[in-house]
Structure 1
Amino acid sequence: MPYLYRAPGPQKHPVPKDARITHSSGQSFEQLRQECVQKGVLFEDADFPANSSSLFYRERPQIPFVWKRPGVNFQGQKTELIRVRNPWGQVEWKGSWSDSSSEWHSIGAAEQKRLCHTALDDGEFWMAFRDFKAHFDKVEICNLTPDALEEDALHKWEVTVHQGSWVRGSTAGGCRNFLDTFWTNPQIKLSLTEKDEGQEDCTFLVALMQKDRRKLKRFGADMLTIGYTIYQSPGKDEHLNKNFFRYNASQARSKTFINLREVSDRFKLPPGEYILIPSTFEPHQEADFCLRIFSEKKAITQDMDGDVDIELPEPPKPTPPGQETEEELQFRALFEQVAGEDMEVTAEELEYVLNAVLQKKKDLQFKKLSLISCKNIISLMDTSGNGKLEFGEFTVFWDKLKKWTNLFLQFDTDKSGTMSSYELRSALKAAGFQLSHHLLQLIVLRYADEGLQLGFDDFLNCLVRLENASRVFQALSTKNKDKEFIHLNINE
């Protein structure tokens, strides 16, 4: 692919009105020339003096020609030509100045040799520059990364790389058209702190690449339609929720969502903090991606995946028997009826009472709790270690059950009796569990059904297991100041 830039300005040959032309992002010719000289990325061809319609090139020693725009005398007029290579090979331009076109008959052999003209089906061909402008709408600089072309003495581009995944049911939210799931996509915070030289804005490029799609093609995987959107950050270091995107417009976005391996665009925005959201166009589509951000000045990026933060409230103190309210007295009577003479609830008794109570709730889709689930509940609440629930322990669990039931109904947005796995992040956070993408993905795989829905029994089991594991971790990490790791012996 040619290393070309087309600079705006008056043209020697006016561009046809119906021609599709991509200008160099509003840069002036002089600004573009100075930046090219400073960075050593592109430079002027001394054989063809620059003017406001010049093209720049970078000469590659391995290629026996350079990308220039020479002129030839044809029928008494100077015609500007450009040499192009088709990166896919063989297929070539068939119009004027193509390999076997009649225009070459009036050009001498010496001139043809100077231009390296051959009539081979090798993917290399010449075009009139006016045809090039009419038939091509985008010219890109193609290289490894902007900093890979530069020497140590030259100005460096700042490059940051983020690896991520779109996972069905948790982080594959699709584009903004799908508001209910869009907010669950990975979010990257971008801080632009330094303006461009002599400018009020900051220049940066964003390149989003979907990984391994060619390798997966043999398994029937096609290129996904991908893109990204950029929002002004509200200043919070946390994953933004659905309401933010409901009421806030984007500041910039990729020009299009398209099924290419990589989508890249150049932006200029005022200094500040922004949230960049890479996504597929449709939700529920899975892929790994690589997001690269190139900036002329120092830019700071942060993955808004968020740290794991778990808040477990202390259980309330029981009310003394003589001070119980009428509701508490009725609850004690219920407990005595369930517990029997020993005044303790076993796993079998808990299974009976929970299934009897929860199945009466018409607004919950509920499968019977298993005996194992009830044993997990007792393991969470049993402070005495006898495998049963006393009245105080049963009361604390019943309060939790009411809170978790209300949370489930709150996040059952379509009132179907089930909760979407995409709402699970918010529901767990409201219950005191802020989890990372990775943990959330594991929970969705464990508890969501094929339709990415959770019934109340799944939600209840999930919360019980989470709180149980969290309390064990907290108890074993008391000796660790950071409380991020625990050391276990064989007994623990």
Structure 2
Amino acid sequence: MEAVTFKKLVKGHAYSVTAVDEVVYRGNMTKLVRIRNPWGEVEWTGAWSDDSREWDSVDRSVRARLQNRSEDGEFWMSFSDFLREFTRLEICNLTADALENSQLKKWSSSLYQGEWRRGSTAGGCRNFPATFWLNPQFKIALQHPDAPGQSECSFLVALMQKDRRKKRQEGKDMETIGFALYEVPKEFVGRSGVHLKKEFFLTHASSARSELFINLREVSSRLRLPAGEYIIVPSTFEAHKEGDFVLRVFSEKPADSEELDDEVEAKLPTETQLDESQIDAGFKNLFRQLAGPDMEISVTELQTILNRIISKHKDLKTDGFTKEACRSMINLMDVSWKRLCEK
């Protein structure tokens, strides 16, 4: 049950600021903020609330324009009360369009999904130099300065945790998250798929970073850096903390970006082909006895052969081959798929 103040504000609750205005009150301009409780019903009962006396001193036309007496959770309060009652204000943008310019700008955007996994990609922040380099890495190429004659490019980086509301129901809180940016070393500029190693981060300082690491659903920063290539390293504050995330990058001018990772390569050893003369004569005779004229064996027949052979090796401490193990071997070697479904 959330606690409610005597003026009917719910502690720890998130409210929305829906409007601001100014009214003449007793000969002075008074700044007002309109606030909405998304859950409705419970409303502020202090100064400038729906039934407060302050409205009696406001021009009737202004009062009619601003006042709403419905119980919808929306109310007015003075700006001074707003500063006293609330501790944090977050500005939410539906797009990354420049707030200080009335002319609409279309920003370029990139979105990546990633994860922090213990033992592989959960490296923590720079306080953990031995593992920081393990974090996911993303490259952004800032190629076009904001305006002619300028060298810097504006962009916005937003890091958001995924599924944390669901995990909160499982008793897990938000992780403390943030990010850092590093200029790509000259030898790697223009190259793709380069994952920077521990030695780089031990000897290079970041070019920019999130304002802080904090346990919020999303952390974002608007940045300006000289044109060039940069690595974005999102991380949890502590190492070995797991989670999924979404990384979004918005830039005023077109910018290329990509996820970086080490190349993964599997080199299979050359398969050795046995000559007929290399196969033990006793084994061949046993195989013919069990396989029959078609020279094919079932799961049960293979189990019999293998267990009979290993029974001769007293130094092997084993309970023998199970039927399931033999079925798996046949499935791997049966190129004709004849025995794949044999029980």
Q: TM-score, normalised by structure 2?
A: 0.64
Q: What is the CA-CA distance between 1:255 and the residue it aligns to? A: 1.4
Aligned to 1:16: none
Contact 1:100 1:119 in 2 (8 A): no
Aligned to 2:244: 288
Cα shift readout 1:45-79 (whole Å, capped 9, x = no counterpart): xxxxxxxxxxxxxxxxxxxxx95543222111122
1:184 equivalent among 129, 134, 141: 134
Greater helix share, 1 or 2? 1
Contact 2:19 2:35 in 1 (8 A): no
Q: What is the CA-CA distance between 1:108 and the residue it aligns to? A: 4.7
Aligned to 2:198: 242
| Residues paired across the two proteins, number | 252
Contact 1:229 1:253 in 2 (8 A): yes
Q: How does 1:399-410 map to 2 (within 5 A)?
A: none
Q: What is the CA-CA distance between 1:174 and the residue it aligns to? A: 1.0
Q: How does 1:96-107 map to 2 (within 5 A)?
A: 96-107=47-58
CA RMSD of aligned residues (A): 3.2
- Larger relative CO (CA 8 A, sep 6+): 1 or 2? 2
SS at match of 2:30: strand
Greater strand share, 1 or 2? 2
Structure 1 305/126 Cα, relative in aligned 2: closer, same or farther at 3 Å? Answer: same
Structure 1 208/74 Cα, relative in aligned 2: closer, same or farther at 3 Å? Answer: same
Aligned to 2:320: none
Structure 1 89/169 Cα, relative in aligned 2: closer, same or farther at 3 Å? Answer: farther
1:175 maps to 2:132: no
Q: What is the CA-CA distance between 1:221 and the residue it aligns to? A: 2.8
Distance, in Å, in 1 between the alignment partners of 2:139 and 2:39 is 37
2:145 equivalent among 174, 195, 200: 195
Aligned to 2:255: 299
Q: What is the CA-CA distance between 1:276 and the residue it aligns to? A: 0.4
Distance, in Å, in 1 between the alignment partners of 2:274 and 2:212 is 60
Unaligned runs of 5+ in 1: 1-65, 148-152, 313-378, 387-487
Q: What is the CA-CA distance between 1:169 and the residue it aligns to? A: 0.5
1:85 equivalent among 30, 36, 39: 36
Q: What is the CA-CA distance between 1:106 and the residue it aligns to? A: 1.9
Structure 1 380/78 Cα, relative in aligned 2: closer, same or farther at 3 Å? Answer: closer
Aligned to 2:163: 212
Q: How does 1:325-364 map to 2 (within 5 A)?
A: none
Aligned AA (1:79): T
Aligned to 2:231: 275
Contact 1:210 1:262 in 2 (8 A): yes
Percent identical among aligned pairs is 50
Q: TM-score, normalised by structure 1?
A: 0.46
Structure 1 262/139 Cα, relative in aligned 2: closer, same or farther at 3 Å? Answer: closer
Cα shift readout 1:373-405 (whole Å, capped 9, x = no counterpart): xxxxxx96996758xxxxxxxxxxxxxxxxxxx
SS at match of 1:260: coil
Distance, in Å, in 1 between the alignment partners of 2:334 and 2:141 is 44
Q: What is the CA-CA distance between 1:111 and the residue it aligns to? A: 2.7
Unaligned runs of 5+ in 2: 1-16, 98-102, 276-332, 338-343
Distance, in Å, in 1 between the alignment partners of 2:112 and 2:214 is 20
Q: What is the CA-CA distance between 1:94 and the residue it aligns to? A: 5.5
Structure 1 78/155 Cα, relative in aligned 2: closer, same or farther at 3 Å? Answer: closer
Aligned to 1:166: 116
Distance, in Å, in 1 between the alignment partners of 2:181 and 2:73 is 38
Contact 2:50 2:67 in 1 (8 A): no
